[in-house]
A and B are shown apart, each in its own frame.
Chain A
């Protein structure tokens, strides 16, 4: 499987990033001015234009090698959208994309950190630590940051973790009765093609979670809500058969790549 590479900084892209989301609607305009519309969801696609400047020779070599492996537009690869949250259903922890122990009690509609009521209260009344987690089809060896807003009735701690194959990392963050954002950035030593991130709910603990976010970069950015579509695109292609590089000095190269995904 091919994965669009990260730069040495752990980021997938540099500013500016251009993204396009395209839908197709068939519109039949009637004589009286009204419209009859048909949504053609299967024609929807995403497109990105990524501009890279001041790349080192190593970074440019990696990009060129990846482009050669993809053979231009021919072969599909996995692209992690740098502008999006890699999780699906970031605020609906009861959705099937989330794996939660059946012993955890989830209550939705809790006051959240953004002034709405989209947080989830999780109670662990069992005698063992339990987890709620989501797995993505992204390379385990990439740099990721998992972040989530947490709150508890009294001062406590919460443990975040990332796991891929036999490699794992975790961190403990303090919680209080006010919302705070806990994050875990790590890069695991693994060759696994998937990554799982989640929260450990300790025995007897009750905690509120909101805004779970996983990003392909070392640190957390602004929270982005997702629904059924997240930022993992497993069937992306280059949009061009040409890869043009401009090198102005050693370790100073630039290029622009176009990527599309359905």
Chain B
């Protein structure tokens, strides 16, 4: 909130929510397929699941995919690539 004298007052509206972008390369077909199946089971952004942050090993119990589109490319054996965005939901 900004006052007439130019100063402002701030407060935290939400608890910070995390977001992960996971780039996956050199996947085999089964791995790509498993990720696609997971995307479809989640129905894109609709579903929720728990996610373990790969850098801290902290479990976030309420997360969703941040995308309604799953794109993958197979350019050879063991050469699948895709990207997933995972967002933490506010409880």
CB within 8 Å for A221 and B29 given contacts A16-B74, A25-B68: yes
Interface residues on B, range: 20 to 34
Which of B1-9, B18-26, B33-41, B50-58 interfaces with chain A? B33-41
Interface residues on A, range: 20 to 34
B90 A34 Cβ-Cβ under 8 A: yes
A39 B73 Cβ-Cβ under 8 A: no
Main secondary structure of the interface of A (DSSP, over half): loop
CA A21 – CA B43 in complex, angstroms? 10
B71 A224 Cβ-Cβ under 8 A: no
B43 A20 Cβ-Cβ under 8 A: no
Q: How far is the CB of A211 from chain B (nearest CB, A)?
A: 10
A225 B68 Cβ-Cβ under 8 A: no
B73 A16 Cβ-Cβ under 8 A: yes
A17 B43 Cβ-Cβ under 8 A: no
A18 B72 Cβ-Cβ under 8 A: yes
CB within 8 Å for A23 and B44 given contacts A15-B75, A34-B90: yes
Q: In chain A, what residue has the closest Cβ to B33?
A: A224
> B68 contacts which chain A residues (CB < 8 A)?
22-25
A84 at interface, CB cutoff 8 A: yes
CA A221 – CA B41 in complex, angstroms? 23
A83 B43 Cβ-Cβ under 8 A: no
B40 A229 Cβ-Cβ under 8 A: yes
B14 A21 Cβ-Cβ under 8 A: no
CA A14 – CA B57 in complex, angstroms? 39
A32 at interface, CB cutoff 8 A: yes
A33 at interface, CB cutoff 8 A: yes
Q: How far is the CB of B90 from chain A (nearest CB, A)?
A: 4
Q: How far is the CB of B36 from chain A (nearest CB, A)?
A: 6
CA A85 – CA B64 in complex, angstroms? 27
What are 7 inter-chain pairs, A to B, with CB distance below 8 A? A16-B76, A17-B74, A20-B69, A24-B68, A39-B44, A83-B29, A224-B29
Q: Which residues of A contact B (CB under 8 A)?
A: 15-25, 27, 32-35, 37-39, 41, 44, 83-85, 221-227, 229
Q: A19-B74, A41-B43 are in contact. List 17 more A-B contacts (CB 8 A).
A: A15-B76, A16-B75, A19-B72, A20-B71, A22-B70, A23-B45, A25-B43, A25-B68, A34-B90, A34-B91, A35-B90, A39-B43, A44-B43, A83-B29, A83-B32, A84-B33, A225-B37
